[in-house]
Amino acid sequence: MNIQEMHIGVGLGIQKVNSNAFDSFIDEEIDYYLNKAQREYVRRQNVFLKENVENLSRPDKIATSEAAENLGELINFHTFSASGLTPNTSFDNATDVTSTGVTMFQFVYANAQLEDGGKWISCKLISPHEIHIYSQAEYNDPLFRRLPLLITKDKFIIFRDSKTDSIYKLELMYIKKPATLSLTSIPQVSSDLPEHTHDEIVDIAVNMILGDLKVAGPTQYEQQSIPKER
């Protein structure tokens, strides 16, 4: 389904509920809702991907799952070797991983290898305000079942515990940001998600529009099309 067909689908969906409202939308507004719906669809699929990670001993097998098929080429794998890993200058028990070449929209999972040929340990995503919990200090000597991973603008930071001397390699699975849909651009931009997902994206966009119309007021758009009585 190309972008023009998705626009038609949105129009038909709105007309089923509120035919007057559709006439008030311009192409740029429909583009906005389709892009918003596309991002929401990706987030929903990532929830299923992460559930599969929790249930499988080999996370790489989730590439064969339904959610992975739905996301198609948006799923990326990246391996960072020892040459791209350096000691963090702020925390004694942390390793920096330069994130050059990674344009991440959603994180899925990461595994860290402790030494060449050694065992792998899964990582868990943390937020900046949690750093004090995982950083090593005189009063804090943490042990981790999963290694904390902080994502910043230009690098990843992996925190090690007292039993982990260094990180040898990092494997990352992530979802890149989908292309921005546009009917009005030259050339037009259609979705880079698989074809079979487009109907659901259109349905999400229609529900978002109808929800916003309801918040704005059920009669607002109808009143625009009713001439004043003389």
DSSP for 27-49, written as a single string: HHHHHHHHHHHHHHHHHHHHHHH
CA dihedral 172→175→179→180, nearest 10 degrees, is: -120
User: What integer pLDDT is reported at residue 140 of this predicted model?
Assistant: 65
pLDDT at 62: 61
The structure's pTM equals 0.79
Locate 67 and state its tokens.
């959610």
- Per-residue pLDDT, 28: 92
pLDDT digit string, tens, across residues 53-74: 665 545 555 656 788 889 988 9
3-state helix, strand, coil in the chain (%, to 5): 45, 25, 35
Domain of residue 166, residue span:
73-176
Q: Is residue 78 situated within a structural domain?
A: yes
Average pLDDT over residues 24-28: 85
Average pLDDT over residues 162-171: 84
Q: Do residues 107 and 125 touch, judged by C-beta distance below 8 A?
A: yes
Contact 166, 160 (CB under 8 A): yes
Q: Is residue 127 part of a domain?
A: yes
3-class DSSP state of 15: helix
Tell me how many domains the chain contains: 1
Other Cβ atoms less than 10 A from the Cβ of 200: the count is 15
Evaluate whether residue 210 is within a structural domain.
Answer: no
**Residue 84 belongs to a domain:** yes
Q: Is 214 within a domain?
A: no
Give 109: exposed, middle or buried? Use CB within 10 Å, 0-12, 13-18, 19+.
Answer: buried
Cβ neighbours, 10 Å, residue 128: 10
Indicate the helix (H) or strand (E) that contains 14: helix 3-15
- Mean pLDDT in the chain? 82
Residue 101's pLDDT band (boundaries 50, 70, 90)? confident
Residue 45 lies in a domain: no
Q: What is the number of other CB atoms lying within 10 angstroms of the CB of residue 219?
A: 10
Pairing between β-strand 94-98 and β-strand 104-113 as defined by DSSP bridges: unpaired
- Identify the band that residue 52 occupies on the pLDDT scale cut at 50, 70 and 90: low
pLDDT for position 160: 87
The DSSP secondary-structure symbol of 182 reads B
Look at residue 220 in the predicted model and tell me its pLDDT.
44
Question: Cα(185)–Cα(32) distance, rounded to whole angstroms?
Answer: 13
What's the angle, vertex CA 185, arms to CA 180 and CA 187, rounded to 5?
95
Q: Kindly report, residue by residue over 195-218, the tens digit of the pLDDT.
A: 999 999 999 999 999 888 775 554
